[in-house]
Structure 1
Amino acid sequence: MTPPDLAQRLAVRERPPGRPVMKQRWSRLLFLHWRVDPDLLRPLLPPGLHLDLHEGAAWLGVVPFRMERVRPVLLPAVPGLSWFLELNVRIYCHDDHGRPGVWFLSLDCNQPVAVELARNLFLLPYQHARMRYGGELAATRYHCMRHGEEAEAVYEYGPAPSAEVRNAEPGSLEFFLLERYLLFSQGRGGKLYSGQVNHTPYPWVPADCGKWSTLPVKWDGLPEPQGAPESALWVDHVDVHIFPLRRLE
């Protein structure tokens, strides 16, 4: 299967037709990535999706962040429901048409209502978790313990001091890892769906990450990556429009 070319990678950044169904803000994002053997990840994808590689390498990501102002379009945010935490484990793929996107292995979340809605409306593998967040901008402390697990994943991170905010250069590793606007999910009978998000390109800086964890990878049944992440990026926030799922043809 031919991998996406640069034009296809840029095309998914365009706002899709129709109206979004949700609005939200993603903030204090930490993108941690490890290079992984492609043969380890290929079996995780359903038929119809293909592992996406950067210069022949596959990448596994762990991304903790805050969800803010989450609400349906035309409705206001609700205190207690619209602000919560999420941590996802992800790999990168493309469909038969060469459209690049994300395949989530798991999404830990501390908002039970959000977990059930996302499972049913977006067919995503959300997991109930106990999570805590604190600290200042330069020293965020983030804790996650999935229900049924005994150990806690802990992250301490912030933007690298004096780092210049930038957008990812098309074709770069940062572009490959960050600029993902499609999610893929699977419903009953193995049917595949895609959902598109739309936001401005991520304004990123290198992350100053004093503590990280690969426990969420272990919780998903994979061997934990060894050593420090090869890529650690920090994003302050983006405002996001969420569009409805579409059946893959």
Structure 2
Amino acid sequence: MKPVELAQRLAARERPAGRPVMKQRWSRLLFLHWRIDPDLLRPLLPAGLHLDLHEGEAWLGVVPFLMERVRPVLMPAVPGLSWFLELNVRIYCHDDAGQPGVWFLSLDCNQPVAVELARRLFLLPYQHARMRYGGDLTATRYHCLRDGELDEAVYEYGPAGEVQEAEPGTLEFFLLERYVLFSVGRNGRLFSGKVNHPPYRWAPAKCDQWSTLPVKWDGLPEPQGRPESMLWVDHVDVHIFPLRRLALEM
């Protein structure tokens, strides 16, 4: 497959046609990334998706954050349902047409209703977990323990520099500017779902404690050493669009 062109990456940020089905805010985001052997990741992708590389290298991400004001369009947020925590393990891919996006290996969440709805409506591998957080924007402490696991993943993080937007073509742009998720339904049918939000305003992250346990929970070897990229985002308001089936090239 040809590499994804920069114009295709920029086009992915445009608002999709049609109406969104949900609104939500993502806040206190921490993006941790490690370089990883592409041959380890390619078998994880279904037919019709291809590993997306930055300058020939593959990346694995662990992203803890807060989900806030989650609700269907035209409905108010509901206390106890619309605020919860999420932590995802992700890799980067594109479809046959070169549309770049995210393939989630897992999404831990402490809201049982959200887990079940996301599994059914967006066909995503959500996992039940016990999670909590504390601190403030400058120093967030975040805990995650997936159901059935013994050890807890802990993150302590905050901003460590000036807030900025990612420049097209940079590693930060490649890792952050993702507006398409891919998922698989029955009989291996491939779907894509789009989100729309302003470009992330990110800062370098100070991360005093981090964990690769969610990677291990997903059955992969844990990355070694410090994350090679650590980025922090205050918040972003997001529109979620419905899934659409992808046609595979023959």
Per the normalisation by structure 1, the TM-score is 0.99
Alpha-carbon distance, 1:237 to partner? 0.2
**SS state at 2:164 partner:** coil
In 1, the alpha carbon distance for the partners of 2:137 and 2:196 equals: 25
Matched residue, 1:168: 166
In 2, the alpha carbon distance for the partners of 1:88 and 1:179 equals: 16
In 2, the alpha carbon distance for the partners of 1:3 and 1:64 equals: 29
Asked if structure 2 preserves the Cα contact closer than 8 Å seen for 1:29 and 1:63, the reply is yes
Superposed CA deviations along residues 187-246 of structure 1, whole A, max 9, x for unmatched, are 000000000000000000000000000000000000000000000000000000000000
Matched residue, 2:11: 11
In 1, the alpha carbon distance for the partners of 2:21 and 2:228 equals: 35
In 1, the alpha carbon distance for the partners of 2:166 and 2:100 equals: 16
In 2, the alpha carbon distance for the partners of 1:124 and 1:136 equals: 30
In 2, the alpha carbon distance for the partners of 1:245 and 1:63 equals: 22
Confirm whether residue 52 of structure 1 aligns to residue 52 of structure 2: yes
In 2, the alpha carbon distance for the partners of 1:165 and 1:235 equals: 8
Matched residue, 2:177: 179
Matched residue, 1:195: 193
Alpha-carbon distance, 1:95 to partner? 0.1
**SS state at 2:198 partner:** coil
In 2, the alpha carbon distance for the partners of 1:181 and 1:53 equals: 16
Alpha-carbon distance, 1:128 to partner? 0.1
Alpha-carbon distance, 1:117 to partner? 0.1
In 2, the alpha carbon distance for the partners of 1:159 and 1:58 equals: 25
Superposed CA deviations along residues 22-58 of structure 1, whole A, max 9, x for unmatched, are 0000000000000000000000000100000000100
Confirm whether residue 129 of structure 1 aligns to residue 129 of structure 2: yes
Matched residue, 2:102: 102
- Counterpart amino acid of residue 43 in structure 1: P
Matched residue, 2:237: 239
Provide the identity percentage. 85
In 2, the alpha carbon distance for the partners of 1:21 and 1:116 equals: 17
**SS state at 1:226 partner:** coil
**SS state at 1:3 partner:** coil
Matched residue, 2:40: 40
Alpha-carbon distance, 1:136 to partner? 1.7
In 2, the alpha carbon distance for the partners of 1:52 and 1:156 equals: 29
- Counterpart amino acid of residue 29 in structure 2: L
In 2, the alpha carbon distance for the partners of 1:113 and 1:230 equals: 34
Matched residue, 1:213: 211
Structure 1 residues without counterparts, runs of 5 or longer: none
Structure 2 residues without counterparts, runs of 5 or longer: none
Count of aligned positions: 247
Q: Counterparts of 1:145-156 in structure 2 under 5 Å?
A: 145-156=145-156
In 2, the alpha carbon distance for the partners of 1:31 and 1:16 equals: 25
Asked if structure 2 preserves the Cα contact closer than 8 Å seen for 1:3 and 1:94, the reply is no
In 2, the alpha carbon distance for the partners of 1:18 and 1:52 equals: 27
Alpha-carbon distance, 1:164 to partner? 1.4
- Counterpart amino acid of residue 46 in structure 2: P
Alpha-carbon distance, 1:138 to partner? 1.2
In 2, the alpha carbon distance for the partners of 1:232 and 1:186 equals: 29
Asked if structure 2 preserves the Cα contact closer than 8 Å seen for 1:194 and 1:247, the reply is yes
Alpha-carbon distance, 1:103 to partner? 0.1
In 2, the alpha carbon distance for the partners of 1:24 and 1:7 equals: 27
Matched residue, 1:143: 143
Per the normalisation by structure 2, the TM-score is 0.98
Alpha-carbon distance, 1:133 to partner? 0.6
Q: Counterparts of 1:68-83 in structure 2 under 5 Å?
A: 68-83=68-83
